[in-house]
Amino acid sequence: MDERIAKLSKVLVTHSVNIRSGDRCLIEYTGSAPLPLIRQLVRDVYAAGGIPFVNSREDSVTRELLLGATEEQLGLMNDNQLAFMEQMQAYIAVRARDNPSEFSDVPADQMTLYNRALNPVLDYRVNHTKWCVLRYPNSSMAQQAGMSQAAFEEFYYDVCTMDYAVMDAAMDALVARLEQTDTVRLTGPGTDISFRTAGMQAIKCAGHMNIPDGEVFTAPLRDSMNGYITYNTPSQEQGFTYENVRFEVEEGRIVKATANDTERINQLLDTDEGARYFGEFAIGVNPYILTPMKDTLFDEKISGSFHLTPGRCYDEADNGNYSALHWDLVSIQREDWGGGEMYFDDELVRKDGLFVVEDLLDLNPDRLR
């Protein structure tokens, strides 16, 4: 067996979800590529004293279901999945999509119906289990990243098995900074936006909920955001790749949205009332992830980036914004991407993607690698 798979499985079982004796762990996977890792995860969950359960999914089958799904059908599906999830203490999802655009021709109203129906399962899993979600390095991901399969696998395992304990310790200062901050301002090409975070909790993500990991997140006060923002990375949402996304925001609400498909993005933002407000602000710091690959789990961790997320907030940083949508749109502030500044209460804390204040220097790439 590939030693890299054994190392990754150990990180997932012992660090990410920290399986204890008697823990029931649901392992879900998409596609056939992850099977070697799935088998190893089953072995390692047993070895840790846990009880593994396995469920597989296939996007082309899900697409067929979505094309004709009814609200009653999806409600029954949710009831069954939720009842099973409520019996789990841990959850690991390994996704290896052969075609990331598989859902691109599913009508938007059907995708909205699906997302709304299954939100209770997602909410329970996120808020009541020890969970971790990751991708698996298949040819589709390598192609998205513009890399050979071999080169992408080397990159993937470097990212996913890095020393997250070092990152974890370095994040404490950023958590403290954010929790003491009243107002955040972000500037850069096509961007000048401010919002308040006063009283919101900040949460560090260092390999426990996602692999790869590397972000600290909080939430803007729901009605506090004003300004405009242009995201400089592509983002795939519901099977479509959005580019050149620009928002104008007044009192927390997106009042104007444009993109490469302006009609489509506005339809997405009209999913429900909360979709035009923001539920998360996060700062990416993973030193191995430098360029976008249209995969949120990687892109939102890009070193020198931030993401400002339309839609649902997390319980840990609950700003009262609830939605079926949670869309992590990423902007990179490094100099090679046009630069940008991040201010906490009018103090410059990061410039061109690098922290410039003493207590945050350990989060710069040269110290995390």
Q: What is the pLDDT of residues 228-253, one digit of tens each?
A: 999 999 998 988 999 999 999 999 99
Residue 326 phi/psi, 5-degree rounding, is -145, 100
| Rounded Cα gap, residues 253 and 223, in angstroms | 7
In 3D space, the residue among 49, 59, 50 whose CA is nearest the CA of residue 239 turns out to be 59
> Which residues are 52's β-sheet partners?
25
Q: What is the pLDDT of residues 135-158, one digit of tens each?
A: 899 888 888 888 899 999 899 898
Which DSSP letter does residue 336 get?
Answer: G
Which helix (H) or strand (E) segment holds residue 169: the answer is helix 164-180
Q: What is the pLDDT of residues 16-42, one digit of tens each?
A: 999 999 999 999 999 888 999 999 999
The fold of the 3-160 domain, in CATH, is: Thermophilic metalloprotease-like (3.40.1830)
The pLDDT of residue 159 is: 87
| Rounded Cα gap, residues 355 and 349, in angstroms | 6
In 3D space, the residue among 218, 243, 228 whose CA is nearest the CA of residue 185 turns out to be 228
The pLDDT of residue 87 is: 98
Q: Is the pLDDT of residue 226 over 80?
A: yes
Q: Which residues contact 217 (CB under 8 A, 6 or more apart)?
A: 202, 203, 205, 280, 281, 282, 283, 314, 317
The pLDDT of residue 1 is: 59
pLDDT above 90 as % of the chain: 79
| Rounded Cα gap, residues 337 and 61, in angstroms | 39
Residue 304, Cβ density class (10 Å: 0-12 exposed, 13-18 middle, ≥19 buried): buried
Region 161-167: mean pLDDT is 89
From-to residues of CATH 3.40.1830.10 in the chain: 3-160
The pLDDT of residue 42 is: 98
Q: How confident is the model at residue 101 (pLDDT cuts 50, 70, 90)?
A: confident
Token pair belonging to 358: 């003493």
